Structure 1
Amino acid sequence: MSRHLEITLRKAETLKEKPDEGNLGFGRHFTDHMFVMRWSVGQGWQDAEIRPYGPFSLDPAAMVLHYSQEIFEGLKAYHGADGSIILFRPLDNLRRLNRSAVRMCMPEIPAEEVLEALKQMITLDRGWVPQAPGASLYIRPAMIATEAAVGLHPANEYLFFIICCPVGAYYAEGFKPTKMFVEDRYVRATAGGVGEAKTGGNYAASLKAFADAKAKGCTQVLWLDAAERKYVEEVGTSNIFFVIGGELVTPPLGGTILPGITRDTVLKLAADWGIKASERRISMEEIMAAAADGSLTEAFGSGTAAVISPVGEFIYKDKAIQIGGGQTGPVAQRFFDGIQQLQRGQMPDSHGWLVRAA
């Protein structure tokens, strides 16, 4: 059932002390308010409310706890050069959440109305948007199945919510080259699976490989395809790009990797800037050969959390593959600087990506 959302506002009586912007970390501090609404069969979305941040009460039989019907998104708000608070491509994130919802047999949200609720919440919590260089307000929309039932079927009740947290750099090393472990034993997703959905199970399944990579001194995991363990797919928290022979190369979308908003931003900016780019399959054998002959000059990840993350080294089959002398390359630097400037309204927005929230 579709109906216009009526949003109730209930302000927090006691406000939290805001954290030191020089020591935010990532995902440790949460704002004063959150947005919540519920869905049930026959009633649709209802009880939409901006309310004080706080815990939920779930029945032990809530189906999310047993069958993992859960999806989420990640986007950011920034202090703009004109003093406004800017959201970057928020509708793209909310529409991607709806695509995840369809794959996971969950109800779609009214994206435009949820965006208006988000803008109201950010206006209310404007003081939580950090102004320190490189800092931002991370926004996490999520949906979980709340029907109390044990027995496999799509749930009849859901909870959607949005929480926010001020964040600094995603990686402790900041914008510096990272070391990636190329995983050829475990797999993240297979054709026909849920790899392109932003659902919690994908990330839970990646934790063992991530822990192993950390133990080897690596920052993240680079996943290969499930069928041949040969072709590059994506990083644990981002899409991946290579600069080979002056061309920007990234694996194609095919159902097994997340269609990243930042990935799409990079490709569109590359077209704007006259950088040759291609979406094609790329094997580790090609990567190794290009590294050996010097044609592989850069590699970097792209994602909401880190924006652009240069890669200085891959570890593959116990061999170290160094990229660009282990230094940040000019292409990664240009995208990092350009996207950040765009997100803060410091360069023209020719694509209509910016939404003023406050």
Structure 2
Amino acid sequence: MKIDYRREGELVLKNQIDIQLSTNRKEKPSFSNLKFGKTYTDHMFIMDYSREKGWYDPRIVPYQPITLDPAATIFHYGQTIFEGLKAYLSENEEVFLFRPDENIKRLNRSSVRMCIPEVDEELALEALKKLVAIDRDWVPNMEGMSLYIRPFIISTEPNLDVTPSQNYRFMIIMSPVGSFYKEGMDPVKIAVESDYVRAVRGGTGNAKTAGNYAGAMLVQEKASASGYSQVLWLDGNEKKYIEEVGSMNVFFKINGEVVTPELSGSILEGITRKSVIELLKYWGVPVSERRISIDELHEAYQKGQLEEAFGSGTAAVISPIGELFWNNEKMLINDGKTGDLSLKVYKTLTGIQTDKEEDPFGWRVKVD
């Protein structure tokens, strides 16, 4: 049965996903003045889980508040995971996703770590595409803007016993967004954090779960107060090996070779990170995944071999790093300017995402 999106207020069943369209559409904001994650589209996806039924009742409904019992385990034990990806509008007014299957796979990997039941990947991807298709007119038609998509799962059982919940809710919400950093593609200043750590091997660092981000906020506030956009995290054991920059993976170009920290169990496996590595290899640029210490990086800087640095992630795509502050010393990278390789990676990835560049990898997924 073909979905007729014009029939507002009705339930339409296709591939087991119920769709109830809003009868009270929101007034869209000015896309030229968007703040990240502040405005939400007309619809959302919801699916529930119980131990007896498994995942059931997948549905797209008007965007709305949800009601939870005060004893719901999400409030007390933080059993939750989430994802982040984007939809892009091409010059031909077509809507594309970028490697959405990788996000759904990572959602399930995070679920396993947080003792949350996995979702059917095919159904989750179909629901995501349907939701984007319904709210496609929320995809900004301005350069550098996109529709941010946030799938997430929370535990909903009212239970104060420290055990895995028997009930969950999977939701997807969406928000039109501009640049994540106000600097855009201008290099950001980063402070190296030597006291606090983001995660440790064997912990939840390789899962996309809320506690990882809450635990980083104090350090982020401290860095912001000192004039820095983000922090560079070191490992939780020796506090010497580089892990992530803020909530992004990080890359360094040292003497012609691009180096990124290896996935050690405490680093999130970013989809943009994976794409950057595959893209660099496709171009024949030397790239390695290995442990790299802050001392090695500082030594490369002193020798004039630290040529570029940048973070990678869904929100910013590529964020060049122009300065690192460590041990009361400022390391100015590439004279504080955006490097040629950083810019090339950014333009190529965003070009693939928006159908301006060829996609030899099959990363781009059209939303019908």
TM-score, normalization: structure 2? Answer: 0.95
User: Which of 291, 316, 321 is equivalent to 1:311?
Assistant: 321
Residues 1:331 and 2:334 aligned together: no
Query: Is this contact kept in 2: 1:33–1:125, CA < 8 A?
Result: yes
Provide the residue aligned with 2:125 in structure 1. 115
For the residue of structure 1 that corresponds to 2:309, the secondary structure is strand
Residue-by-residue CA offset, 1:209-258 (whole Å, 9 max, x unaligned): 11111111100011001111111000122000000001000000010000
Q: Which amino acid aligns with 2:112?
A: V
Higher deviation after alignment, 78-87 or 165-174: 78-87
Residues 1:214 and 2:224 aligned together: yes
Structure 1 residue 122 displacement after superposition: 1.1
User: Which of 164, 187, 195 is equivalent to 1:185?
Assistant: 195
Higher deviation after alignment, 166-175 or 113-122: 113-122
Provide the residue aligned with 2:170 in structure 1. 160
Structure 1 outlier segments of 4+, above 2 Å: 80-83
User: Which of 231, 241, 249 is equivalent to 2:251?
Assistant: 241
Q: How does 1:214-293 map to 2 (within 5 A)?
A: 214-293=224-303
Supply the distance in 1 between the matched residues of 2:340 and 2:234 (Cα, whole angstroms): 26
Q: How does 1:88-103 map to 2 (within 5 A)?
A: 88-103=98-113
Query: Is this contact kept in 2: 1:5–1:46, CA < 8 A?
Result: no
Supply the distance in 2 between the matched residues of 1:274 and 1:192 (Cα, whole angstroms): 34
Supply the distance in 2 between the matched residues of 1:323 and 1:307 (Cα, whole angstroms): 19
Structure 1 residue 5 displacement after superposition: 6.3
Supply the distance in 2 between the matched residues of 1:126 and 1:207 (Cα, whole angstroms): 33
Residue-by-residue CA offset, 1:26-64 (whole Å, 9 max, x unaligned): 101100000000001020111211000011000000000
Supply the distance in 1 between the matched residues of 2:131 and 2:55 (Cα, whole angstroms): 18
Supply the distance in 1 between the matched residues of 2:142 and 2:94 (Cα, whole angstroms): 15
Provide the residue aligned with 1:74 in structure 2. 84
For the residue of structure 2 that corresponds to 1:233, the secondary structure is strand
Provide the residue aligned with 1:63 in structure 2. 73
Higher deviation after alignment, 181-190 or 5-14: 5-14
Query: Is this contact kept in 2: 1:5–1:48, CA < 8 A?
Result: no
Q: Which amino acid aligns with 1:283?
A: S
User: Which of 142, 145, 149 is equivalent to 1:135?
Assistant: 145
Residue-by-residue CA offset, 1:287-333 (whole Å, 9 max, x unaligned): 11111111101000000000000000011122111101000000100
Supply the distance in 1 between the matched residues of 2:291 and 2:129 (Cα, whole angstroms): 39
Query: Is this contact kept in 2: 1:302–1:309, CA < 8 A?
Result: yes
For the residue of structure 2 that corresponds to 1:159, the secondary structure is strand
Provide the residue aligned with 2:309 in structure 1. 299
Supply the distance in 2 between the matched residues of 1:23 and 1:43 (Cα, whole angstroms): 44
Supply the distance in 1 between the matched residues of 2:226 and 2:166 (Cα, whole angstroms): 44
Query: Is this contact kept in 2: 1:244–1:298, CA < 8 A?
Result: yes
Give the root-mean-square deviation of aligned CA atoms. Answer: 1.0
Aligned residue pairs total 355
Q: Which amino acid aligns with 2:142?
A: A
Provide the residue aligned with 2:115 in structure 1. 105
Supply the distance in 2 between the matched residues of 1:292 and 1:325 (Cα, whole angstroms): 14
Supply the distance in 2 between the matched residues of 1:12 and 1:245 (Cα, whole angstroms): 56
Supply the distance in 2 between the matched residues of 1:233 and 1:5 (Cα, whole angstroms): 42
Query: Is this contact kept in 2: 1:181–1:218, CA < 8 A?
Result: yes
Structure 1 residue 82 displacement after superposition: 3.7
Supply the distance in 1 between the matched residues of 2:106 and 2:27 (Cα, whole angstroms): 33
Structure 1 residue 65 displacement after superposition: 0.4
For the residue of structure 2 that corresponds to 1:96, the secondary structure is helix
Supply the distance in 2 between the matched residues of 1:72 and 1:5 (Cα, whole angstroms): 24
For the residue of structure 1 that corresponds to 2:108, the secondary structure is helix
Structure 1 residue 9 displacement after superposition: 0.6
Residues 1:17 and 2:52 aligned together: no
Structure 1 residue 128 displacement after superposition: 0.1
Q: Which amino acid aligns with 1:268?
A: E
Supply the distance in 1 between the matched residues of 2:235 and 2:127 (Cα, whole angstroms): 39
Supply the distance in 2 between the matched residues of 1:176 and 1:112 (Cα, whole angstroms): 38
For the residue of structure 2 that corresponds to 1:302, the secondary structure is strand
For the residue of structure 2 that corresponds to 1:39, the secondary structure is strand
Residues 1:145 and 2:141 aligned together: no
Q: Which amino acid aligns with 1:38?
A: D
Q: Which amino acid aligns with 2:140?
A: P
Structure 1 residue 81 displacement after superposition: 3.9
* Unmatched segments (≥5 aa) in structure 1: none
For the residue of structure 1 that corresponds to 2:288, the secondary structure is strand
* Unmatched segments (≥5 aa) in structure 2: 1-13
Provide the residue aligned with 1:43 in structure 2. 53
Q: Which amino acid aligns with 1:295?
A: Q
Query: Is this contact kept in 2: 1:39–1:46, CA < 8 A?
Result: yes
Supply the distance in 2 between the matched residues of 1:157 and 1:5 (Cα, whole angstroms): 23
